Amino acid sequence: MSAPTPPTAELHLHVEGTIEAELLVRLADRDGLPLPSRDTDVLRERYEHFADLQSFLDVYYANLAVLRTEEDFHDLATGYLDRARAAGVRRAEVFVDPQTHVDRGVPLEAVIRGLSSAFSAAEETHGVSAAMILCFLRDLGPEAAEEILRAALPFREHFIGVGLDSAEVGYPPSLFTRVYAMAASEGLHRVAHAGEEGGPEYVREALDLLRVERVDHGIRAMEDPELVARLREERIPLTVCPLSNVALRAVDALPDHPLRRMLDEGLVATVNSDDPAYFGGYVDENYRAVARDLGLDRARLAQLARNSVDATFAPEEDKRRWRAEIADWAG
């Protein structure tokens, strides 16, 4: 039997990255849409070999053609939350890329309402708490980001924050200073991908200019000791995605992953799955992989889980309950 994993929060999860091959076929059949193949083994092959972030993003964006209706988005999120519950997830703060859907002609309302109704149902039925973070696609630039934020504000009650994702290098955080200030003035939380493929300067800019409360990935911050000291002192959480980093070749192999060093440095590192349908595992599988390949014992896994709860934007009373569950798990 595989090793048990702790109750946890998942803070770095792109809902579009949870389209398993079976769901791809089911949605394409339902909406009468073409696919390169109807054979899930053939489709899965395309999921497995990436040279870098961009080669993954090419497949990821192409597969989104099957998401057209509010029901499609609802079913996508429900599938993820069912699997997340089985993985021990108590709280999921879920990324969505609205620009890519709106640019394909899908109404923003269908995206947001479809996801939001799935989140409410998961909370009522299974007690899994879920919240939405809208990500700006950095390669579409800052004006497009401002436009989508303005379009989303009528649905403000359905999301808690903004993020920044897609191709990193060449699109530094500094480009998005104004839209992050707009988000802050609306009372939205702020996170950003930085230091996945981009260097430590991307992480510094995200902190200094975007005023992010968490850094997504952030593994390349480890190249800069001063930045590491700052992340520790300011207790900035890092949402690390070990299987993703190996799949996209940000790290050569899991035994080389900096996660253990991040914990040794006292950073608020957390474990997450990023795009689990593509990278070989949901959050429990990421925990198991780091336990095995980095030799992290139960106490270290519990630390990672505690970090994840500390890093959520959930109400304090929920955090207290989840921390108690983790303490029970740790024994």
Question: Can you give the binding site for Zn ion, defined by CB under 5 A?
Answer: 274
Residues belonging to the active site = 196
12 appears as a binding residue in the annotation: yes
Q: Taking the complex as a whole, how short is the minimal distance between the CB of residue 135 and ligand ADE, in angstroms?
A: 7
Nearer of residues 273 and 303 to Zn ion, judged by Cβ: 273
Nearer of residues 112 and 135 to ligand ADE, judged by Cβ: 135
Which residues lie closer than 8 Å to 63 by C-beta, 6 or more apart? 16, 19, 24
Which residues lie closer than 8 Å to 188 by C-beta, 6 or more apart? 159, 160, 161, 162
Judged by beta carbon distances under 5 to 8 A according to partner kind, the member of ligand ADE, Zn ion, none in contact with residue 166 is ligand ADE
CA distance 304 to 246: 19
217 appears as a binding residue in the annotation: no
Of 5, 116, 129, 166, which lies in the binding site for ligand ADE, with binding defined by CB under 6 A? 166
Helical axes 200-208 vs 225-233, angle rounded to 10°: 40
Which residues in 78-212 belong to E strands, given as ranges? 89-96, 129-137, 161-165, 189-194
Tokens at 170, concatenated: 């060449």
Of 20, 93, 205, 274, which lies in the binding site for ligand ADE, with binding defined by CB under 6 A? 274
Judged by beta carbon distances under 5 to 8 A according to partner kind, the member of Zn ion, ligand ADE, none in contact with residue 196 is ligand ADE
101 appears as a binding residue in the annotation: no
Nearer of residues 75 and 275 to ligand ADE, judged by Cβ: 275
Closest CA to 215 of 198, 225, 226: 198
Nearer of residues 6 and 198 to ligand ADE, judged by Cβ: 198
Assess 165 for contact with ligand ADE (CB under 6 A): yes
Number of H helices, E strands in the chain: 16, 8
Q: How far is CA 162 from CA 166, 238, 253, 287, 289, in A?
A: 14, 16, 31, 26, 29
Structure letter (DSSP) for residue 103: T
Assess 242 for contact with ligand ADE (CB under 6 A): no
Q: How many CB atoms lie within 10 A of CB 29?
A: 12
Contact letters for ligand ADE, residues 56-85 (x by CB under 6 A)? ----x-------------------------
Assess 196 for contact with ligand ADE (CB under 6 A): yes
52 appears as a binding residue in the annotation: no
Q: Which positions lie near ligand ADE, rule CB under 6 A? A: 14, 17, 53, 60, 165-166, 193, 196, 244, 274-275
Binding positions for Zn(2+)? 12, 14, 193, 274
